[in-house]
Amino acid sequence: MPESATVSALLGKQSLIIESGKVARLADGAVTVRTGDTIVLVTAVSAPALKENACFLPLTVEYRERAAAVGKFPSGYLRREGRPSEKEILTCRMTDRPLRPLFPRGYFYDTQIISTLLSGDGENDPDILSINGASAALMVSDIPFAGPMGAVRIGRAAGQWLVNPTHTERLASDVDLVYVGTREHALMIEGTARELPEIDFKEALALAQSRIQTVLLLQQELASRVGRPKREMELRSARPDLLEVAYEVAQDRIEAAIYQQGKVARAKAVTALREEVKGKILERFPEASEYEVSAAFEHLEKKAFRRSILDLRKRCDGRRPREVRPLSGECGLLPGSHGSALFGRGETQTVCLATLAPADEAQSLDAYAGGEQSKRFMLHYNFPPFSVGETGRTGGLNRREIGHGALAERSLEPVLPPASEFPYAIRVTSEVLESNGSTSMATVCGASLALMDAGIPLTAAVAGVSVGLVTEFDDDGRLVRYLTLTDIIGSEDHYGDMDFKLSGTQAGITGFQLDLKLPGISLALLAEAVDQARDGRLEILRFMDGVLARPRREISPNAPRIETIQVPTDKIG
């Protein structure tokens, strides 16, 4: 029987306990992670064989909450857990995103992480346990993984920083930061704040980086005691002989294709060149697989893109590194809605509609893991296939749409009036009409304008912008040079190394999300991106002031109107 081990340490005010070897022993790696009476089981399994046409890392992450974990029956007629809730999907995404950069390049084996809430105390959020558990499960497994990574939540109440605050403590906090990192670098951040100044935001990042060291040491100790040797496996990469053909055919023309003005023209030029390269490769190497052909051209395209950015400081659409795309905006264009706004940034465009309803229309939440039981403000983000000039399935939501909507929602929630002053339920829908990067940040801008057009007394307008990154490393893995880019487009997101979304008002930050393709970046580089995002945000806010400087004085005549009548006491009874 495999050996079991338990490690624990104080993190914040409570102990973090990780145990392995007791349950789920047929998985490649399995741990239970506990804080208070909240317990999450996390398992990791990776297929032993590589599929013939595998061309990417097929990683799936699932997180599920069981009603029995808190002594309840599931709601619904069947009394079984149904489709994942928004909370479960967002926890999946927070667990998934920091894991991906830590797998070896070319590791294309089916891999699955499953997190299950086994016990909930209603105070300690299981999302941090899921992230730490995923890393720990991979560390004790034989699956190749460049971990460990550690996660903490940072809050602040009455001017005091809190590490892994409980749900009760978070009610009084002006920041909710989930931070994931390695020993020296940041991997992923996500959260919201109440107009937090940039200097305080950087302080929170530094505190989080120091606190995850405890989590990393625990995982290393656990792996040293019960970890398995890492398996031998094939890593796929571009074939040198195919690379030679790709460079021979297209090296002199790839830059011209990349720098075509406009997304459609750029895509056509690159596609034509790709087909030409494919034809030449198959002519000489008919046995080459689809992945091998694609990998050769992708290598050429990515290298040309990065060389132009770093050597010439030249972007695909001709902008300077810190330049925001041309902006457009209009309010009140849809007479049947309570509030509407059309917002555009370059080839990214969204229309946002705000709707008011009585307070009892607020969304009820199961909230097995604790936290809010209802939600009066909802933002729903829709990404139809025509927005990228394609056909596709419609009608269902995917995780990306839910994640983007949640980011925009938490970016705007801090500036909404309290229910005691504005007793309405509020819903915003964002319909993406054109997409060429940063649609979630365009949604923040459009939704802010739509809410003001609806007469909702926001404390301030909110804008969002995304900052990208292009890097170059030497053979020893040291960062040689880099360039940060304001307001990235689709190709800069695809071929770049970072997508750092920051939303806020003139006073400070309200929402943020960092995703990386690198196995981490330094806090110094992250701080530089924070300052750059502020400059871009303020520029966009100035433009938005020209579209609609303040909320309408009255709500729409189409909206329900709530009036409070004071009844004289002598008239009662």
Q: How far apart are CA 255 and CA 300, in angstroms?
A: 10
Instruction: Verify that 215 and 302 share a domain, yes or no.
Output: no
3-state secondary structure 4-46: CEEEEEEECCEEEEEEECCCCCCCCEEEEEEECCEEEEEEEEE
In sequence order, the 6+-apart residues with CB closer than 8 A to the CB of 57 are 100, 103, 107, 108, 109, 111
Residue 553 within any structural domain of the chain: no
In sequence order, the 6+-apart residues with CB closer than 8 A to the CB of 279 are none
Instruction: Verify that 216 and 261 share a domain, yes or no.
Output: no
Q: What is the mean pLDDT of the chain?
A: 95
Question: pLDDT tens digits, residue range 126-174?
Answer: 999 999 999 999 999 999 999 999 999 999 999 999 999 999 999 999 9
Domain boundary at 226, 251, 272, which? 226
Residue 564 within any structural domain of the chain: no
Instruction: Verify that 274 and 399 share a domain, yes or no.
Output: no
Which domain, by its residues, includes 304? Answer: 240-312
Instruction: Verify that 254 and 173 share a domain, yes or no.
Output: no
Residue 540 within any structural domain of the chain: yes
Q: Which residues of 198-222 are buried (b: 16+ CB within 10 A; e: fewer)?
A: bebbbebbebbbebbebbbebbbbb
Instruction: Verify that 200 and 264 share a domain, yes or no.
Output: no
Residue 566 within any structural domain of the chain: no
Instruction: Verify that 420 and 276 share a domain, yes or no.
Output: no
Question: pLDDT tens digits, residue range 494-509?
Answer: 999 999 999 999 999 9
Q: How far apart are CA 401 and CA 387, in angstroms?
A: 13
Query: Is the separation of the CB atoms in 493 and 513 below 8 Å?
Result: no
Q: At residue 18, what are phi and psi to the nearest 5 degrees?
A: -120, 130
In the chain, the percentage of residues whose pLDDT exceeds 90 is 85
Query: Is the separation of the CB atoms in 205 and 523 below 8 Å?
Result: yes
CATH number for position 77:
3.30.230.70
pLDDT band at 348 (very low <50, low <70, confident <90, very high): very high
Residue 271 within any structural domain of the chain: yes
Domain boundary at 226, 256, 291, which? 226
Question: pLDDT tens digits, residue range 211-260?
Answer: 999 999 999 999 999 999 999 999 988 899 999 999 999 999 999 999 88
Instruction: Verify that 301 and 416 share a domain, yes or no.
Output: no
Instruction: Verify that 279 and 416 share a domain, yes or no.
Output: no
Torsion sign, CA atoms 561, 567, 571, 573:
positive
Q: How far apart are CA 136 and CA 212, in angstroms?
A: 13
**271 three-class SS:** helix
Domain boundary at 285, 312, 339, which? 312
Instruction: Verify that 248 and 343 share a domain, yes or no.
Output: no
Residue 568 within any structural domain of the chain: no
Residue 444 within any structural domain of the chain: yes
Kindly state the DSSP code that residue 69 receives in the 8-state scheme: G
Instruction: Verify that 206 and 296 share a domain, yes or no.
Output: no
Q: How far apart are CA 446 and CA 430, in angstroms?
A: 8
Consecutive H or E run containing 357: strand 348-358
Instruction: Verify that 306 and 346 share a domain, yes or no.
Output: no
Question: Cis (ω within 30 of 0) for the bond into 84?
Answer: no
Kindly state the DSSP code that residue 159 receives in the 8-state scheme: T
Question: pLDDT tens digits, residue range 372-418?
Answer: 889 999 999 999 999 999 999 888 889 999 999 999 999 999 999 99
Residue 317 within any structural domain of the chain: no
Instruction: Verify that 288 and 357 share a domain, yes or no.
Output: no
CATH number for position 253:
1.10.10.400
Considering its fold, how many domains does the chain have in total? 3
Question: pLDDT tens digits, residue range 35-91?
Answer: 999 999 999 999 999 988 788 999 999 999 999 999 999 888 888 988 999 999 999
Query: Is the separation of the CB atoms in 188 and 96 below 8 Å?
Result: no
